[in-house]
Structure 1
Amino acid sequence: MDELQQQIIGKLHVKPEINPEEETRELIDFLKKYVGKYTFIKSFVLGISGGQDSTLLGKIAQLAVDELNEEGHDIKFYGVRLPYGEQRDEDDAKDAMDFISPSVETVINIKPAVDAGVQALSDSGYVLSDFVKGNEKARERMKVQYAIAAHTGGVVLGTDHAAEALTGFYTKYGDGAADLAPLTGLNKRQGREIMKYLGASAHLYEKIPTADLEDDKPLLSDEEALGVTYEHIDDFLEGKSVPDEAYDRIKTLYYQSQHKRDLPYNRYNLPV
């Protein structure tokens, strides 16, 4: 393991291995501690896609809410489905909701809002590519979550974890925007371990990860988009050796996405 790999692992707080039971307890306690500190919080809000990350965090959030309410709080978890029209893997999203059993389940179709924004830009001469339109979808989803959080006196949860943080595989100010990021420090493999411990159906953590943001490339896998496998990303984050080609790709993705991990630059903090 070279110096760069060590630095990245340290910055992203990744453990070489986890105990799923202990990690679950730590995640729940983190959310409970936040509510204990900020007692005005009345809700957690999270978009549920049917993928591993949102299913995992949704379940953790509901477990925390259940414990908080048993202890005398009055707080709800809002699980929000945010399809763009008809969701291709809708069955997975429904199964995720059944597994989570959120306090409140909401479905909001973002297609009218996204299409209206894209059309307004087009009318002004800014014709968006399919890729950029995908970012518009991600940001619209986050906008909806913040609206619900504001309406219900709550905070928005984010699913960003170490494998995404390493590669920058999220939309800046879209799914990368949130008030709390409980999954920080976990890689994809460790998230699966916790899902198994929590008793999730295998298809919810074994399905091929996809952001599904591009109309022209429906259900494009994360690994195809990244150009590297999660197995190699997770190995890298756990301090293991990876093939040279995978290492070079991970390093490139890390440097290219540094701006996503930084607060907005100003005249005093611009990197040299």
Structure 2
Amino acid sequence: MLDDQTDIAHTLGVTPDFNAGQEAERRIGFLMDYLSASSMRAYVLGISGGVDSLAAAMLAQRAVERLRDNGHGAEFIAVRLPYGVQADEADAQKALAVINPDRIVTIDIKPAADAMLEEVRREAGDLFKDGRTDFHHGNIKARSRMIAQYALAGAVGGLVIGTDQAAEALMGFFTKFGDGAADILPLSGLNKRRVRAVASHLGAPQELVFKVPTADLESNAPLRPDEDAYGVTYDEIDDFLEGKTIAESSRNRIFAAYRASAHKRALPVAPQDWKAGEPKAR
């Protein structure tokens, strides 16, 4: 298991040097090349109103526009996936206005997510610990959103974009096979401040770029800031990934989160991959 700060940053693709303009162009080119090489014709991405989906969507929209300029059929489909009425819906709509996607599809995941939880609890309610039902419901919501995106992608011959970035990958702050599932990850290797820098470079408004990040999965704690769940700040996480010195207590918390979430960053384990006590990191 990697436990060196520099090795972890390298494993997660965080480079010592960073230029927002160059990274934006490199990632737009990556999206163009991959869609063209895959013989697919669309990108699909869920838009939450946060900076990660905003940055990824702006990259994707520019990529498909350039492909069309070069004579290739391509489109970007932005998907709103609210659970009923989203608390920060206004921010999601602002993000869509900035992105100006080729198409917007809205799918309410509430009926499907609630039905799944109800059916699981009907058959195995005794397995759910007191006070944890809302947490598990949140994971069902995240996976329901990905089911919807893959349904759309399958219908149009498209690929699903994920918003995984290095800060969340480090902390394991994503739902396995939920928002952690995707075909392509244009933000991989960027910590949070670098995602914000890319979004700013692309012209995103500052109120969205610096909006307080939240997963907004738990109904009992709507819009709970990510940093509350982490116990450390994004600045500390970003500093860690950039090789800077942070408080020992924060450093230890980050190491603990990274080790505990190793299974989330790994492909499904097979006998030839297994070494006792060490899930194979992706």
Return 30-39 or 49-58, whichever deviates more: 30-39
Separation of aligned partners in 2, 1:215 and 1:270: 37
Aligned pair in 2 of structure 1 residues 204, 238: CA closer, same or farther (>3 Å)? Answer: same
Equivalent residue, structure 2, for 1:175: 179
Equivalent residue, structure 2, for 1:130: 134
Secondary structure of residue in 2 paired with 1:106? strand
Separation of aligned partners in 1, 2:98 and 2:59: 11
Separation of aligned partners in 1, 2:181 and 2:189: 17
Separation of aligned partners in 1, 2:33 and 2:74: 13
- Runs of 4+ aligned structure 1 residues displaced above 2 Å come to 125-128
RMSD over aligned Cα atoms: 1.2
Separation of aligned partners in 1, 2:13 and 2:222: 33
1:124-203 residue pairs with structure 2 within 5 A? 124-126=123-125, 127=128, 129-203=133-207
Once the two structures are TM-superposed, the CA of residue 226 in structure 1 deviates from its matched residue by 1.1
Contact conserved, 2:35 with 2:42, CA < 8 A, in 1? Answer: no
Matched, 1:204 2:208: yes
Matched, 1:29 2:33: no
Secondary structure of residue in 1 paired with 2:78? strand
Separation of aligned partners in 2, 1:107 and 1:216: 24
Gaps of 5+ in 2: 277-282
1:82-161 residue pairs with structure 2 within 5 A? 82-126=81-125, 127=128, 129-161=133-165
Once the two structures are TM-superposed, the CA of residue 17 in structure 1 deviates from its matched residue by 3.6
Separation of aligned partners in 1, 2:180 and 2:62: 23
Once the two structures are TM-superposed, the CA of residue 198 in structure 1 deviates from its matched residue by 1.2
Once the two structures are TM-superposed, the CA of residue 10 in structure 1 deviates from its matched residue by 1.0
Aligned residues: 270
Contact conserved, 1:16 with 1:237, CA < 8 A, in 2? Answer: no
Contact conserved, 1:17 with 1:238, CA < 8 A, in 2? Answer: no
Equivalent residue, structure 2, for 1:254: 258
TM-score by length of 1: 0.97
Equivalent residue, structure 2, for 1:218: 222
Contact conserved, 1:55 with 1:100, CA < 8 A, in 2? Answer: yes
